[in-house]
Chain A
Amino acid sequence: MVLSHEFKVLLEREPKFIDIMCSLEATARQPKGIINETKEVVAIARKFNDEVVRPYALELDRLRTEDPEFLPWEFVKKANEWGFYTMWIPKIFGGKGYCMPSMSYFIEEIGSACLAMANLIGVHYLGFATLTATWNMRLVNRLAREVAKGEKTGAPCLISLAITEPGAGTDVEEIDLIDKGKITCHAGKVKGGYVVNGSKVFISNGHISAWHMLIAYSDLKRPSDTPVVLAVPTGAKGFSFGRQEHKMGQKGCPASELIFEDCFIPDELVAMDDEQCRGLSRKTREATMQVIDYVVSVTRAGVGAFGTGVARGAFEEALKFAGETEVDGKLLINHEWAQCMLAEMYKNVTIARLCYVETNYANGMYGFFKTLQMKPMYYCAKMLPKFYIDLVIAPLMSKHFMTKLMRKIGLDGQKDEEIHRTSGWASIAKVVGTDAGIRNCQLALEMMGQAGLRQDRVAEKHLRDSKLLQIYEGTNQLNRLNIFKCLIARSCPQAVVFDE
């Protein structure tokens, strides 16, 4: 049998046990409360789908087709009323504090009915995740509390992420490419802040967000060393919205152009820059990639959940059609080929879900969710009374040392192999989920024939919506390369990535 000294060596062999069994490691360690929270979240999402999403999804799609300038405020206000914009903001920042992994299940549910609406909720957390990944606790506290206030007053306060540029999409998501990319959004350091010039494109929720987490660069010749993360409020002088893109699908969710012309952003809204990175164990370049990986490890899993959702939505439409339509003299569902096709679709959904769930486990053990999912922290955050949070914790968050402390824990505390594990898994979840989305939509339309082509049968909308998933949050090609870089390349020291 295996000798004790062989044990570690064998498990370290590729594929490393720790990389492929995140769930096995995590299930015993995670707080049990997460299970009931997740059940609650799924139940809420299903009710919201019945009452809000399904009755309005086709109408919103049509309204935005007729008038691409129409903004989905009606839906955003409903989501705000239901409390979705604070649901995954920790209680210490004034939110409801649901566990982060439960959001994936939530967006799978909403995405199964309408991807655009899932985006109108989920993309807000892309902005919030970016802010949180800088661990600038003062700014996190400030913006999160504005979101909470917006919920109370009925004026939704959403956060977007502005990173893609007209000449650079994939380049800005990978530190090895960014210096070779056509980067143009400049943040020049001036006394008391930064002056921003340039533009961003394809910014989801841009026109309807109150805050925009903007990634600009103080030196366009070496952007990898000089990123600046800024919180830009809508209405800031020198900041305006350009056109809304005319998309094939996900029409309900605006994709905006953001234009900056001598836009001054004061120091208090600088979430992270070179100066703030000093004192971290990693250099700015590596710290930048770590922040990107930190964010995408969560958001790519989220896109995987979107893909799972739309794959499920397509399956459900096909199943419904097969159960009520006679083809060649008998119900379609009783044709053996149709049963196998439906089983294939069901299988695709299940595999896609398993991938984002595994990524959640990885993030809980080694990434973004780690701090909040440690049992003492989790239960402490649940049980602290609100007055105590408001009186004691919130003021602490505004102190500089809290940012320093959290960066020490969050950024310095994460090992390189943990970054690779979480980032690699997130790319797997993204690619598997989004490919499943497209595949199932294609199969659903094939099965439904003429009926599948009609907007009022929903399946064609799922197909149009799903294609974008293979593109944003890094194209699936970039994500495949990231899987290679994070999980495969280390076993071949001669391998070079992004430098063909």
Chain B
Amino acid sequence: MLTYTNPELKPFEELAGQFARNELASGREEHDNYPFGPFFHGVLARAHEAGFLGIILPEHQGGIGQGTGALCVILDSISRADASLAGILFTTALAQQILMEAGAFDAIRTITGGASKAEEALIAFPAFANPSELAPSVFAKNEEGRYTLFGTCDYLVLGGLARYGLIPARVHGRKGYSFFIVDLAAPGVTKSGPVVSLGFHACPAVDVKIRDVDGTIAGSEGDGAVLFERAAEKMHIAAAAIACGIMKGSFVEALSYAKERFQGGREIVKWSEVRMILANMAVKVDVADMTLAGACRAAEEKHPGWETKSRAVAIRIQDDACELTTDGIQVLGGYGYMKDYGQEKRFRDAKQVQALLGMAPMKKLKYFEKVAE
């Protein structure tokens, strides 16, 4: 639907779809083994070559200069096969968006422009938390314009892979928090092993301890919440696109299985209760597809109130993805619960996506705050 409302996005859909089929679909189970199996460095390198790590960055910043629509089309297409890579793209794009909101273009150029390999282009970020909800436990000391950071940053996504991280920290004597670019290879940064998580296994996170490490402020002191909210307005839709892709993948696999699996002497798709489950799934997929396309269009054309409405779209799609992927397993019965099929991973990934950008109930309340305004 996204490419129907905006045909210019068609090439991105084809590119990402082809990438998902060639690079992700067949290796899904193996990639999902991380951290108990190898990380898919090769896939990440090819995603970098395809320009997926700089979708929203302007070309002069080392990106491909696209907007929310292209980002969503790519995330949607990739997530049908394996949402872990989408998690990597999302996290990096979120950090880039915050840096752009902060006007930290030099930093972006340093990180992305100078990246000779994929890992160097990544930016680690705690993508599953809104720092306004859970106050950061990293603190920054300002000594004549030089910031020294200490504290802990839990669940820093891509922290084990990326050279640089964008870390929220509280500046002594200031209200709120600010964002700092931190060299994660610096002495004083201690990383845990990969955190074993529900989903997104190949989009790993680590816990980081920081002790007297220099940080470069992005924006100004105390403006972290403003920057995060501005970036989040666009990135909520991107998170919804991942959920939408997962939903499509789950529905396609459930339908295909239902046509082949026999029960009571006929294909299970011919039993009306199974048809009802599939119908409910199809309704959710189509509604998600339509609303996502509408939200992207509204965002790109800056329709009045698009910021608030896109939050509602994201909340709805993410909730539906959790329900739909539960049914996606149910249609396959015992097989849906096994790693041989993609359904159990989609179930886990959908729940993981729901936590992007903060706690689900708090996102609802934040949305209502905007509505009530």
Contacts and interface: CB of A to CB of B under 8 A. Distances in A.
Interface of A: 62, 65-66, 164, 167-171, 177, 180-182, 201-202, 245-249, 325-329, 337-338, 341, 438, 442, 445-456, 460, 463-464, 467-468, 470-472, 475-477, 480-481, 498, 500
Nearest to B198: A460
Contacts of B348: 248, 464
DSSP majority for the A interface? helix
9 contacts: A182-B262, A338-B361, A445-B354, A446-B354, A449-B133, A455-B196, A456-B195, A477-B274, A481-B273
A247 B338 contact: yes
Given A450-B134, A456-B195, 5 more contacts: A181-B262, A450-B155, A453-B198, A455-B198, A475-B330
Contacts of A450: 126, 128-129, 134, 154-155, 355, 359
Contact of B197 (A167, A246, A460, A470): A460
Given A452-B355, A500-B271, A66 B155 contact: no
A314 to B, nearest CB: 12
B362 interface: yes
Nearest to A445: B351
Interface stretch (B51-59, B212-220, B339-347): B339-347
Given A170-B333, A177-B264, A247-B338, A454 B195 contact: yes
A389 to B, nearest CB: 40
Contacts of A472: 334
A467 B347 contact: yes
A442 to B, nearest CB: 6
A445 B133 CA distance: 16
By CB atoms of chain B within 10 A, which of A438, A471, A472 has the most?
A471
B359 A245 contact: no
B199 A453 contact: yes
B322 interface: yes
Nearest to B334: A202
A65 B37 CA distance: 10
Nearest to A178: B264
B63 interface: no
Interface in B320-373: 322, 326, 329-330, 333-334, 336-340, 344, 347-348, 351-352, 354-355, 358-362, 365
A485 B263 CA distance: 18
A164 B360 contact: no
Q: Which 3 A-B pairs have the closest CB atoms?
A: A180-B265, A449-B359, A248-B344
Contacts of A180: 264-266
Interface residues of B, number: 49
Contact of A248 (B347, B352, B362): B347
B116 interface: no
B135 interface: yes
Contacts of A338: 361
Contacts, number: 147
Contact of A325 (B134, B264, B334, B336): B134
Contacts of B308: none
Interface in B251-271: 262-266, 271
Contacts of A453: 128, 155, 197-199, 351-352, 355
Contacts of A449: 128-129, 133-134, 355, 358-360, 362
Contacts of A202: 334
Given A181-B265, A463-B351, A498-B264, A246 B338 contact: yes
Contacts of A326: 134-135
Contacts of A481: 273
Given A246-B339, A442-B322, A327 B359 contact: yes
B91 to A, nearest CB: 13
A456 B195 CA distance: 8
Nearest to B155: A450
A171 B128 contact: no
B263 A328 contact: no
B339 A447 contact: no
A253 B329 CA distance: 19
B3 to A, nearest CB: 32
A249 B354 CA distance: 20
Interface string B138-165: 0000000000000000110000000000
Contacts of A245: 338
A449 B128 CA distance: 7
By CB atoms of chain B within 10 A, which of A448, A449, A500 has the most?
A449
Contacts of A329: 135
A445 B355 contact: yes
Contacts of B263: 168-171, 177, 181
A500 B272 contact: yes
Contact of A327 (B126, B134, B196): B134
Nearest to A245: B338
B359 A171 contact: no
Nearest to B33: A65
B274 to A, nearest CB: 8
B370 to A, nearest CB: 15
A248 B343 CA distance: 10
B338 A470 contact: no
A442 B277 CA distance: 19
A481 B263 CA distance: 14
A456 B194 CA distance: 12
A248 B355 CA distance: 20
A181 B126 contact: no
B132 interface: yes
Contacts of A447: 359, 361
By CB atoms of chain A within 10 A, which of B126, B133, B197, B334 has the most?
B334
A480 B274 CA distance: 13
Contacts of A327: 133-134, 359, 362
A180 to B, nearest CB: 3
A292 to B, nearest CB: 16
A498 to B, nearest CB: 7
A475 B333 contact: yes
Contacts of B351: 442, 445, 453, 460, 463
B334 A246 contact: no
B264 A171 contact: yes
